[in-house]
Amino acid sequence: MGRQNYKVGDMIVLKSGLTRRPLADKQCRIASILPNDHGHVQYRVQFATENFERRITEADIDVGESSVQASTEAIAKSGGAEPWLKFSALRTGK
10-residue mean pLDDT profile of the chain (94 residues): values are 74 74 72 84 89 89 66 53 68 74
pLDDT computed for residue 84 by the predictor: 66
**DSSP E strands, 1-94:** 11-13, 27-37, 40-46, 54-57
pLDDT computed for residue 62 by the predictor: 82
pLDDT computed for residue 1 by the predictor: 45
Query: What whole-number distance in Å separates Cα of residue 88 and Cα of residue 62?
Result: 26
Instruction: Tell me the pTM.
Output: 0.60
